[in-house]
Amino acid sequence: MSQQQLRQQYFNARASQTNAQRQLAAQQVSEHLLALPELQVPRTIASYYSVKAELPTAVLNEQLQHHGHQISLPVLHPFRRGHLLFLKLHSQTRWNTNQFGIPEPQLNVQEVVPIQQLEIILVPLVAFDAQGNRLGMGGGYYDRTLQHWYQGRHQLLPIGLAYDQQFIDHLPTQPWDIPLAMVITPSKVWDFRQ
Ligand SMILES: Nc1nc2c(c(=O)[nH]1)N(C=O)[C@@H](CNc1ccc(C(=O)N[C@@H](CCC(=O)O)C(=O)O)cc1)CN2
Ligand SMILES: Nc1ncnc2c1ncn2[C@@H]1O[C@H](COP(=O)(O)OP(=O)(O)OP(=O)(O)O)[C@@H](O)[C@H]1O
C-alpha cells in the first residue's frame, strides 16, 4: 500500500471514534503520561492543539500545566517553510489560525521556546508501528523538528499520542524519518528505547 493510501486508511480509523470514545481515550492517555517517571519533575514540554479526529489535548494540556510543566504549542515558521516554532501557552495567549485551520499562538519572539530547551515533545500522528516509526500529515514538520534534536545531542523525548486503532505492525520508512521514543495509547505505553 502506498504512503498516501496508508494515510487515508488510518485517517479513517482515527475519524471513526465517537466523541465519548475520544474523551475517554484522552483521559486515559493523560493518566499514563502524567505517571511517567520522566514527568515527576517540572518539564519543558511541547504539546499540540488538537483538531478534528486527533487525540484531544485540551484537557491534557491543562493537566500538564496544573502539574507545573511549561507547555508550548507549534506555530508554522513564518519564513522557513516546513519548519515549526514552539510558543509558550499561558492564560493570556492570543490566537491565530494557520493555513491548515489549526489554532496557534500569535507569533511573538519573547514567547518562543528554542528547540534545544524542549525536554519532551508530544507528537500528533496518523499511524505508528512497533519500531516507533510515525506516519504524520505529510508536511514533514515533525521530521524536521526531530532532526534538529538528533543533530544537537541534547535530551529530547519525542512521545506520540494516539488511539489504539492507529497501530500498524510495520510502516514503510523514509530516509528522513526519525523514530519516536515512546507512543502512548489508552491501553498501552509503548517504549521504543533500548
Ligand atoms: N494539531 C496538529 N497541529 C500540528 C500538526 C498536526 O498534525 N496536528 N502538524 C503536523 O505536522 C503541523 C502542521 N502540519 C500539517 C500538515 C498538513 C496538514 C494537512 O494536509 N491538512 C489537510 C487537511 C486534512 C484533513 O482533511 O483534515 C489540508 O489542509 O488539506 C495539516 C497540518 C504542526 N501543527
Ligand atoms: N529532515 C528533512 N529534510 C528535508 N526534507 C524533509 C525532512 N523531513 C521531511 N522532509 C520532506 O517532507 C515531506 C513530508 O514528509 P513525511 O511524509 O515523512 O511527513 P510526515 O512525517 O507524515 O508529516 P508531519 O511531520 O508534518 O506530520 C517529504 O516529502 C520530505 O521531502
Q: What is the ipTM metric for this complex?
A: 0.93
* pLDDT for residue 20 is more than 90: yes
Q: Does residue 36 surpass a pLDDT of 90?
A: yes
Contacts of 173 (CB under 8 A, 6+ apart): 133
Whole-number pLDDT of residue 103: 98
Residues 6+ apart with CB under 8 A from 129: 167, 168, 169, 170, 171
Q: How far is the CA of 148 from the centre of ligand 2 (A)?
A: 13
* In the predicted structure, residue 1 carries a pLDDT above the cut 90: no
β 189-191/182-184 pair status: antiparallel
Say how many Å lie between the CA of residue 41 and the centre of ligand 2.
32
Question: Ligand 1: which residues within 6 Å by Cβ?
Answer: 48-52, 54, 74, 84, 100, 102, 124, 136-139, 141-142
Predicted local distance difference test score (pLDDT) of residue 23: 97
Separation between Cα atoms, residue 154 and residue 150, nearest integer Å: 8
Q: Which of 61, 84, 137, 147 to mutate to test the pocket of ligand 1 (most atoms within 8 A of CB)?
A: 137
Dig out the grid coordinates for 128 from the structure: 505508528
The CATH number of the domain holding residue 55 is 3.40.50.10420
Provide the pLDDT confidence category of residue 188 given band limits of 50, 70 and 90: very high
pLDDT for position 61: 98
Q: What is the pLDDT of residue 152?
A: 66
Q: What is the pLDDT of residues 110-162, one digit of tens each?
A: 999 999 899 999 999 999 999 999 999 999 999 999 997 777 666 789 999 99
- Give per-residue pLDDT as tens, 89-100: 999 999 999 999
Q: Residue 109 is part of which domain span? A: 3-191
How many domains, the chain? 1
Q: What is the pLDDT of residues 42-80, one digit of tens each?
A: 999 999 999 999 999 999 999 999 999 999 999 999 999
pLDDT at 98: 98
Average pLDDT value for the chain: 95
